[in-house]
Amino acid sequence: MHTSVLRLADLGHSTIEPLLAHYGLSLVRVADGEAIPGSYWGDDEAGIIGHTVYARSDTPVHSLLHEAGHLIVLPPERRAQTHTDATDSIAEEDAVCYLQIVLGGTLPGVGRERVMHDMDAWGYTFRLGSARAWFEQDAENARNWLIERGLLTSGGEPV
């Protein structure tokens, strides 16, 4: 467990649910101590099945945003078939990392800086050494991938 990261309990569901609903997703809260359905990493990490993101109160917010990002980038027909593992390519994974940072910036009490800090604390690896350096200096392909699919505006804001 990574204690230095922001957890769902720190925000509450009412902060996350409207964001997920905007993309046609729902959040299911899993009881503390129970296994999280659809979790790729296990432990306290968020899970995905179909149009649903699963999380416990101890789930890191960055994990919830990342897994939701996987569902957001998928076309509806693939989203419905998704269970646990959603990535098709490195380009898609990069786009999801970029999107989770952008989405974190829309949440009160979170922000892009916190998401990037928590990504680094969790152990994401980027060739420039940090999530922030990658986001600011090396993520043009991920950003363009999202813009081309209508998920970000040309100004980099989520649609």
Share of the chain above pLDDT 70, in %: 98
For the cut 90, the answer to whether the pLDDT of residue 152 exceeds it is yes
pTM: 0.94
Q: pLDDT tens for residues 74-123?
A: 988 899 999 998 877 999 999 999 999 999 999 999 999 999 999 999 98
39: DSSP letter: B
State the Cα–Cα distance between residues 57 and 51, nearest whole angstrom. Answer: 20
State the Cα–Cα distance between residues 94 and 145, nearest whole angstrom. Answer: 9
Q: Of 123-127, 135-139, 140-144, which gets the smallest average pLDDT?
A: 123-127
Distances (CA, A) of 31 to 34, 35, 44: 6, 8, 11
* Average model confidence (pLDDT) across the chain: 94
Indicate the residue type of 26.
Answer: S
Q: What are phi and psi of 2, to 5 degrees?
A: -100, 105
Distances (CA, A) of 159 to 8, 23, 103, 105, 151: 23, 9, 10, 13, 5
> Sheet containing 47-49: which strands, arranged edge to edge?
26-29, 52-55, 47-49
What residues does each domain of the chain span?
8-81, 90-148
